[in-house]
Amino acid sequence: MWRLMQGMYVTMLNLIRKKVTEQYPENRGKVFPHERMRGQLVMPHNEANQHKCTACGICEMNCPNDTIQVISKKETDAETGKEKKVLDRYLYDIGSCIFCALCTTSCPQDAIEWSANFEHAVFTRPKLLEQLNKEGSSLAKKEKAARE
């Protein structure tokens, strides 16, 4: 009987308490996640559209579920005439990422990092596949707008 009365007391308190509703889509500018949050993987570019990635593939090897694909190609260096490996495409599938950060901690050039972008809701799975090494990608545009 005592437990029933306690439950009724808590219920009555919640009935008379002021309701608080977060209008999430409307207050996006007011939501600030923690700075160490692992939201989405990004590859920072400078003003000349250059990145630090050397296509070594260490991040791809350390990824436990093949979220990252590093596709490289061989190019001849104009100055030395030697062939070197250059990054062609850096693909990131956020739909299968487990946010373990093994890729960012193992990258020797610090070419990839985590952003605070936590909105990943889409209607189709192919929209979760991003190419990170292009400045013109939608993710890079979002990051550039967030920095400004």
Alpha carbons 2 and 137: distance in angstroms, whole number: 61
Residue 135's pLDDT band (cuts 50, 70, 90): low
Q: Answer whether residue 133 is part of any domain.
A: yes
Q: Answer whether residue 13 is part of any domain.
A: no
Q: Answer whether residue 101 is part of any domain.
A: yes
Alpha carbons 52 and 63: distance in angstroms, whole number: 19
Q: Answer whether residue 17 is part of any domain.
A: no
pLDDT > 80? residue 140: no
Q: Answer whether residue 77 is part of any domain.
A: yes
pLDDT value, residue 23: 73
Which strand ranges, in their side-by-side order, compose the sheet holding 129-131? 68-76, 83-93, 129-131
**Residue 84: how many CB atoms within 10 A of its CB?**
12
The pTM (predicted TM-score) of the whole model is 0.69
Tell me the DSSP string of 77-141: -TTT--EEEEEEEEEEETTS-----HHHHH-TT---EEES------SSGGGGEEETT-TTSHHHH
Alpha carbons 104 and 115: distance in angstroms, whole number: 12
pLDDT value, residue 49: 83
Element (H, E) at 42: strand 40-42
**59-73 per-position pLDDT tens digit:** 999 999 999 999 999
**76-101 per-position pLDDT tens digit:** 888 888 898 899 999 999 999 999 99
pLDDT > 60? residue 138: no
pLDDT value, residue 145: 55
**6-56 per-position pLDDT tens digit:** 999 999 999 999 988 777 777 777 777 777 888 889 999 888 888 999 999
Longest dimension (CA), the chain: 88
Residue for token pair 């579920």: 65
pLDDT value, residue 139: 47
Please give the single-letter amino acid code of residue 130.
Answer: E
Q: Answer whether residue 47 is part of any domain.
A: yes
What letter does residue 41 receive in the DSSP assignment?
A: E
Domain range for 106 is: 33-147
pLDDT > 90? residue 116: no
Residue 107's pLDDT band (cuts 50, 70, 90): very high
Contact between residue 39 and residue 113 where contact means Cβ atoms under 8 Å apart:
no
| Residue 121, domain CATH | 3.30.70.3270
